Amino acid sequence: MFFLKKVFYLLLNERLKFKFENFMSYSISGIQQLGIGLSSLKEGWHFYKEHFGMNIPLFNDEAEAKLMTPYTGGEVHKRQAILALHTQGGGGFELWQFKSRKPQKSKDDLLLGDLGINAGKIKVLDIEKCHKSLLDNGLNVSDIHETPCGQHNFYLLDSFKNIFEFITFEDWFKKGNQNNGGVCGAVIGCSNIENSLKVYQDILGFTEVIFDTTSIFPEFEFLLNGGKKFRRVKLKHPQPKKGAFGNFLGDTELELIQAIDYEGKKIYQDRFWGDVGFIHLCFDVVNMDKLKEKAEKNGHPFTVDSAESFDMGDAQGHFSYIEDPDGTLIEFVETYKVPVLKKLGWFVNLSNRDRSKNLPNWLMSALALNKFANPNKTF
């Protein structure tokens, strides 16, 4: 009896400790997804599935984006979105297309150093094999280079004029037979890096500086405007991977770049969120209410807040947005329900568990069963 009481009190103390910690703080679990606005969702889905291995459609939803009117001209627009994941882990792509208006492309090509998301970072196991495979498939890629911190990378310009940096990475959910995994970060153009650090370090917690250097970089020559001088600050998130999806999403890095002799333009100037290009960078979080307090205190309040919950067809949770000093949109999502295998009605309800703890690896691996789902039926 004494032993049972002791076990009971230990469990109770752990539960109270969890509640207290959640009451006091929030955590960033990783990059959930990189939002990509497309003219044709069908074309985007097939391209990223074939060439990037993003073949798990976690959800495929068509609805009105009622809360995004601050960024869609004050009007409610209908859209379709697919959250595509990679079986080897990392963040996904939220592939997004307007259904009630024609998606607008930028009038000008993106120049490196323009204000907003310049490139998505894709984690790579074997840089040589990955590079050769993409070249053999006829894709537009740069040579392989070494970054200021010793990682190797190359850049890819996709069929929709989006830029991706493929970069060697140590942290993996699992190592399979594909050369690359999912999203591990982003390159973000800033007008003043010191101002931007107040968001990316103080709110998002990317406090570990990997390098901070200013020069002309040979690896950038492949990119428009890449031959000019830039300041580059690479940041890493040192926090252990808390949250249900922490192990799956993995470590993340952000690279802030500032053009020294060029004044970057806002990538989404005179266009809507959801138009063609990188529309947002989304982070998985635990304890949205505390994050909201921190963002407000630091002068970057939520500009969009689903308040209680959102319903993306097969997934449910709470989402919000803030802007960095240049208007780049950062999304936060706290997930309450996620489909493991929709056909069998297998969903995981996260609201009934300690959301700071990782889901078992076997359960996250089971998400791969969704790759047999067929998004084509709704195109």
- 352 lies in a domain? yes
Neighbour-count burial for 296-319, b at 16+ CB within 10 Å, e otherwise: eeeebebbbbbeeebebebbbbbb
Beta strand pairing call for 329-341 and 277-286: parallel
- 160 lies in a domain? yes
Using DSSP's 3-state secondary structure scheme, residue 9 falls into helix
- 5 lies in a domain? no
- 341 lies in a domain? yes
* Cβ atoms of residues 254 and 186 within 8 Å: yes
Query: Which residues share a beta bridge with 35?
Result: 94, 280
pLDDT > 70: percent of the chain = 91
Average pLDDT over residues 70-97: 97
Beta strand pairing call for 145-146 and 163-168: unpaired
- 6 lies in a domain? no
Q: Which sign does the torsion angle of CA 202, 27, 337, 351 carry? A: negative
- 338 lies in a domain? yes
- 190 lies in a domain? yes
pLDDT at 309: 53
**Contacting residues for 293 by C-beta, under 8 A, at least 6 apart:** none
Beta strand pairing call for 277-286 and 56-64: unpaired
- What domain range is 267 assigned to? 21-378
- 255 lies in a domain? yes
pLDDT at 11: 41
CATH number of the domain residue 60 falls in: 3.10.180.10
pLDDT in tens, 154-210: 999 999 999 999 999 999 999 999 999 999 999 999 999 999 999 999 999 999 999
pLDDT in tens, 85-100: 999 999 999 999 999 9
Mean pLDDT of the chain: 90
Residue 106 DSSP label: P
Q: Quick one: pLDDT band at residue 229, thresholds 50, 70, 90?
A: very high
pLDDT in tens, 109-134: 999 999 999 999 999 999 999 999 99
- Whole-angstrom Cα distance, residue 140 to residue 215? 25
Residue 3 DSSP label: H
- Whole-angstrom Cα distance, residue 119 to residue 185? 9
Number of domains in the chain: 1
